[in-house]
């Protein structure tokens, strides 16, 4: 069994809070009492599936529905509390004008939202580059801003984030788990930059301080921070400045446990500075080996499992994909392989984090994709 001791603890309570505790005679609970309180919370069960679909997939999509119903049913059963998605839900290369952005996002994003609602799944969605029109959309400030406005208007995410990223940056608290979703794309005028700006960082610092009692913290953003990562069928974008960025320094300072990202359509798990970065996801309609992650927080333990399963494709290519070649598109029919039908997904990585008496997170199991040197 491998054990990694985090070098960073949760930040102390703010000074005002400490003074208040002293003033009213309240006593800070011991580590043992905190552990007992955490154990009384109901387990939190969730899933993660970035980069679904990354193509313009309708609802319903003929030739896809049987496989999608199987998959969404699993997401609901295995992660009944919520599903995380670190971006890239459609291809969305709609670059003509803001009116086209509004019309096409209403068509495809609307169907996407209806699909999750039909399965009664709470979704926490981070914007990916395709939620700004892909790289070509991000290169045009007017188009990227139109996408940003539609994301905020249509996607129904929590609105507790900073003013410039309402509905695209937000947090949610489930029992002892804090989830922060970031927008890894900032308006830089003529184009958008691949970074997290000062407004988001100040907001995030305040949220992490307010929720310093959380047993575990997961942050999700579309772009990976730590490289290298495996990549396939991707522009392979990364966050500017990587582990030298202010975002990484802030996460290290506050003892964030896991950073989830997508973009690269392959699985890479990396441990750095007390943080596990997990990059995963795959292209439905293109790649035959798909993946997702499920997790549970139960008291002072968080377990993450990466799962993979195989599909087959047939028929021609779906047509509504502007600025793409005739064969650079998803296939018409998606079906589960016989192995998948009979045995379901296979677990290809397990990570277990456990709080010690000081509230530090230790890695007590890391297998498969989570194995480390």
The predicted-structure confidence for 66-95, as pLDDT tens digits, reads as follows 999 999 999 999 999 999 999 999 999 999
Q: HSE (CB half, 13 Å, CA atoms) of 60?
A: 9
In this prediction the pTM is 0.91
- CA dihedral defined by 350, 273, 277, 116, rounded to 10 degrees? 100
CA distances from 242 to 73, 146, 180, 195, 226 (A): 36, 27, 18, 9, 6
The predicted-structure confidence for 5-61, as pLDDT tens digits, reads as follows 443 345 434 444 433 433 333 434 444 444 445 456 899 999 999 999 999 999 999
Q: What are the extents of the domains in the chain? A: 43-368
Residue 37 has a pLDDT of 53
Residue 163: pLDDT band by 50, 70, 90 thresholds?
Answer: very high
Q: What value does the mean pLDDT take over residues 209-223?
A: 98
Residue 182 above 70 pLDDT?
yes
Share above pLDDT 70 across residues of the chain, in percent, rounded to a whole number: 89
The predicted-structure confidence for 241-267, as pLDDT tens digits, reads as follows 999 999 999 999 999 999 999 999 999
Residue 148 has a pLDDT of 98
Residue 4 above 60 pLDDT?
no
Contact 309, 344 (CB under 8 A): yes
Residue 372: pLDDT band by 50, 70, 90 thresholds?
Answer: confident
Residue 1: pLDDT band by 50, 70, 90 thresholds?
Answer: very low
Residue 123 has a pLDDT of 98
Residue 230 above 70 pLDDT?
yes
Q: What value does the mean pLDDT take over residues 121-146?
A: 98
Residue 273 above 50 pLDDT?
yes
Residue 135 has a pLDDT of 96
Strands annotated E in 9-162: 44-48, 82-85, 123-125
Residue 35, classed as helix, strand or coil, is helix
Residue 289 above 80 pLDDT?
yes
H/E stretch holding 7: none
Could you tell me which CATH class the domain 43-368 is placed in?
alpha beta
The rounded distance, in Å, linking the Cα atoms of 89 and 111 is: 11
Residue 373: pLDDT band by 50, 70, 90 thresholds?
Answer: low
Residue 147 above 80 pLDDT?
yes
């Amino acid at each position: 069994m491998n054990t990694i001791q985090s070098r960073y603890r949760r930040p102390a309570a703010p000074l005002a809070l400490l003074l208040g505790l002293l003033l009213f005679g309240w006593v800070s609970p011991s580590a043992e009492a905190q552990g007992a309180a955490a154990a009384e919370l109901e387990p939190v069960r969730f899933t993660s599936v970035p980069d679904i679909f990354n193509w313009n997939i309708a609802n319903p999509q003929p030739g896809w529905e049987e496989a999608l119903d199987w998959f969404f049913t699993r997401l609901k059963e295995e992660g009944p509390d919520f599903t995380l998605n670190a971006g890239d839900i459609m291809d969305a290369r709609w670059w003509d004008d803001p009116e086209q952005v509004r019309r096409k996002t209403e068509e495809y994003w609307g169907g996407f939202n209806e699909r999750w609602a039909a399965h009664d799944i709470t979704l926490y969605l981070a914007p990916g580059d395709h939620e700004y029109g892909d790289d070509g959309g991000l290169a045009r400030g007017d188009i990227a801003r139109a996408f940003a406005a539609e994301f905020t208007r249509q996607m129904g995410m929590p609105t507790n984030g900073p003013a410039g990223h309402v509905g695209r940056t937000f947090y949610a608290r489930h029992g002892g788990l804090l989830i922060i979703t970031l927008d890894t794309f900032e308006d830089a005028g003529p184009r958008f930059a691949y970074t997290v700006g000062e407004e988001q960082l100040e907001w995030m610092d305040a949220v992490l301080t307010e929720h310093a009692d959380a047993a575990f913290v997961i942050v999700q953003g579309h772009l990976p921070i730590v490289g290298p990562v495996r990549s396939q069928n991707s522009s392979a974008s990364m966050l500017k400045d990587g582990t030298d960025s202010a975002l990484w320094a802030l996460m290290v300072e506050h003892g964030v446990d896991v950073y989830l990202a997508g973009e690269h359509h392959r699985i890479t798990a990396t441990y750095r500075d007390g943080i596990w970065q997990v990059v995963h996801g795959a292209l439905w309609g293109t790649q035959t080996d798909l993946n997702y992650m499920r997790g549970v927080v139960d008291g002072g333990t968080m377990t993450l499992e990466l799962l993979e399963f195989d599909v087959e494709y047939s028929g021609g290519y779906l047509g509504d994909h502007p600025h793409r070649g005739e064969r650079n598109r998803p296939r018409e029919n998606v079906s589960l392989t016989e192995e998948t039908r009979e045995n379901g997904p296979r677990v290809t990585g397990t990570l277990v984090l456990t709080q010690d008496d000081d509230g530090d997170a230790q890695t007590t199991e890391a297998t498969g994709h989570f194995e480390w040197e």
